[in-house]
């Protein structure tokens, strides 16, 4: 079949109803623009909000949990092995918070090909002494460089420089905590550990995560400072934080490691299940809205093609009389529909991109999100591909029934009617 002739006839029919064709194309343009802008903006926000938590959350966290021993002595006794034993008032067994044999665990993990990197951490409960008042809080001892490298620590240090933490006896305070203590940069604060040791530390920066509660109680010091503060040896570590190359491997690897190392391991998916649910639902909503827009514009195309067919019955009849088959006529109308989709869709993708650029440069400043200056937008090409493909699919569907109707026009009926 001569496609050039089909294109020529389609073009002539479209130009004959140029205004309507244009309106149909504008409908597609509008919906694709909205689709791309909506998804880009929505996913930009999602990524940012999830990133608030997920960027600084380890994919797997190893720690020792204080809990009652599940193997009570009675269950070891052969005499009572078949009976139902009730033990009252069980207390957690005395065990250390520190991870046993942490050095070899870390060595094993570092060699694992799935692991991107790991960093040690100590969480120490302390009282910040402000005059006669004691504020409870947590000092996190961290590997400063690794924390910055793996968990974007520097993004959250809003005042001061994070490498200053490498000096011994320095601390970065949570913003809320610093405000309550009226501690400025360079001030020396005093704190008491749970064991009763008094320590004086110099404030070198403020930390702001965007989560108020967290910033009210957490502060950061280097791991050696915290070990010294607690009077523990350099091998003392309470947490090992692991970042994987593939986030999705975390649950399986957590289960595996729990058995191998005999310590507790939490994966990011289990701990932050609510984030994933939220993200998925927001994604779903934006897809539904975008596709609804496309379907509505599809109805526009359907209407216009139907109108065109009624107006051009004579043309269709004569084309069939001079030897165009039903499928040729079908192709002509499908070509019209797809051209509307292609032209409208391309402009839509372009305008969608421009809209994204616009949103991206709109100022968005909030105290809770120190690192964000403008609205976040995701430019993932995926949305453009989906948008483009959907514009063609919907216009094809919109053209399908009118084209079938046109192809089944009986020329005899039209010509005899004159």
Residues forming contacts to other proteins in the complex (CB under 8 A) are 2, 4-5, 9, 12-13, 15-16, 314-315, 317-328, 411-412, 415-416, 418
Backbone torsion region of residue 160, taken as left when φ is above 0, otherwise alpha when ψ lies between -120 and 50, otherwise beta = left
Q: At what angle do helices 381-407 and 18-54 cross, to 10 degrees?
A: 150
For other proteins, give the closer residue by CB, 17 or 175.
17
SS3 161: coil
- Choose between 4 and 89: whose C-beta lies nearer to other proteins: 4
Cβ of 175: how many Cβ atoms within 10 Å?
A: 20
- Name the phi and psi angles at 159, rounded to 5: -130, 140
Please provide residue 87's backbone torsions phi and psi, each rounded to the nearest 5 degrees: -115, 125
- Backbone CA torsion sign across 380, 381, 384, 386: negative
CA distance 303 to 280: 35
Quote the strand ranges of 64-174, DSSP E: 115-130, 133-142, 157-160, 170-174
CB of 312 to other proteins, least distance (A): 9
Taking the C-alpha atoms of residue 360 and residue 146, their distance in angstroms, rounded to an integer, is 31
CB closer to other proteins out of 120 and 312: 312
Determine the distance from the C-alpha atom of residue 126 to the mean position of all C-alpha atoms in its chain, rounded to a whole number. 34
Whole-number minimum distance, CB 322 to other proteins, in Å? 4
Residue 256 or 328 having the CB closest to other proteins: 328
Instruction: For other proteins, give the closer residue by CB, 19 or 88.
Output: 19
Q: Closest distance between other proteins and the C-beta of residue 415, in Å?
A: 6
Angle at which helix 273-311 crosses helix 3-16, to 10 degrees, equals 80
Q: Rounded to whole angstroms, how far apart are CA atoms 83 and 59?
A: 41
Min dist CB 3 to other proteins, Å, is: 11
Question: Smallest distance from the beta carbon of 17 to other proteins, in angstroms?
Answer: 10
For residues 353 and 345, the answer to whether their CB atoms sit within 8 Å is no
Nearer to other proteins, 17 or 120 (CB): 17
Closest distance of CB 44 from other proteins, Å: 46
Q: Which is nearer to other proteins, 76 or 322 (CB)?
A: 322
In the complex with other proteins, which residue's Cβ is closer, 213 or 314? 314
Q: Which is nearer to other proteins, 225 or 407 (CB)?
A: 407
Minimum separation from the CB atom of position 407 to other proteins (A) = 10
Q: Which tokens hold the place of 350?
A: 């372009």
As measured in angstroms, the least distance from the Cβ of 325 to other proteins is 4
* CA–CA distance, 280 with 47 (Å, rounded to integer): 12
In sequence order, which residues have a C-beta less than 8 Å from that of residue 128 and are 6 or more positions away?
A: 134, 135, 136, 137, 177, 181, 189, 190, 191
CB of 316 or CB of 356, closer to other proteins: 316
CB of 114 to other proteins, least distance (A): 60
Alpha-carbon torsion, ordered 68, 71, 73, 75, to 10 deg: 140
Pairwise CA distance, residues 114 & 130, whole Å: 45
Cβ neighbours for 333, distance < 8 A, ≥ 6 positions apart:
10, 305, 308, 309, 399, 402, 403, 406, 407
Closest contact distance (angstroms) between CB of 341 and other proteins is 22
- Taking the complex as a whole, the smallest distance from the CB of residue 14 to other proteins amounts, in Å, to 10
**Residue 14 or 124: which CB sits closer to other proteins?**
14
């Amino acid at each position: 079949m001569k496609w050039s002739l089909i294109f020529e006839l389609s073009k002539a029919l479209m130009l004959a109803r140029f205004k309507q064709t244009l309106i149909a194309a504008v409908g597609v343009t509008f919906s694709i623009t909205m689709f791309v802008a909506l998804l880009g903006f929505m996913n930009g926000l999602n990524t940012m909000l999830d990133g608030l938590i997920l960027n600084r959350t380890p994919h797997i966290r190893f720690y020792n949990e204080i809990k009652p021993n599940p193997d009570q002595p009675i269950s070891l006794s052969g005499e009572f092995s078949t009976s139902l034993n009730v033990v009252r008032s069980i207390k957690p067994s005395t065990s250390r918070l520190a991870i046993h044999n942490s050095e070899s665990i870390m060595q094993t993990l570092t060699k694992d090909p799935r692991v991107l990197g790991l960093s040690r951490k100590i969480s120490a409960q302390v009282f910040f002494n402000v005059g006669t008042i004691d504020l409870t809080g947590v000092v996190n001892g961290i590997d400063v460089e690794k924390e910055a490298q793996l968990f974007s620590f520097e993004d959250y240090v809003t005042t001061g420089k994070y490498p200053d933490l490498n000096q011994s006896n320095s601390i970065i305070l949570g913003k809320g905590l610093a405000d309550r203590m009226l501690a400025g940069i360079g001030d020396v604060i005093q704190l008491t550990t749970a064991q009763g040791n008094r320590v004086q530390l110099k404030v070198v920066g403020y930390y702001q995560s965007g989560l108020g509660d967290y910033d009210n109680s957490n502060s950061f010091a280097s791991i050696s400072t915290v070990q010294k503060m607690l009077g523990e040896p350099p091998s003392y570590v309470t947490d090992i934080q692991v970042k994987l190359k593939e986030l999705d491997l975390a649950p399986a690897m957590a289960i595996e490691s729990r058995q191998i190392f005999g310590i507790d391991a939490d994966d990011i998916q289990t701990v932050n299940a609510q984030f994933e649910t939220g993200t998925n639902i927001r994604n779903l909503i934006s897809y539904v809205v975008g596709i609804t827009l496309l379907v509505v514009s599809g109805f526009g195309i359907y209407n216009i093609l139907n109108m065109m067919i009624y107006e051009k019955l004579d043309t269709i009849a004569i084309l069939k009389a001079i030897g165009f088959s039903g499928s040729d006529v079908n192709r002509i109308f499908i070509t019209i529909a797809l051209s509307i989709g292609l032209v409208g869709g391309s402009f839509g993708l372009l305008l969608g991109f421009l809209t994204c650029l616009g949103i991206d440069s709109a100022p968005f400043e909030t105290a809770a999100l120190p690192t964000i200056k403008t609205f976040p937008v995701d430019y993932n090409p995926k949305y453009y591909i989906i948008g483009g493909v959907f514009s063609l699919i919907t216009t094809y569907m919109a053209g399908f029934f009118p084209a079938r109707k046109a192809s089944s026009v009986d020329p005899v009926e039209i010509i005899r009617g004159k």
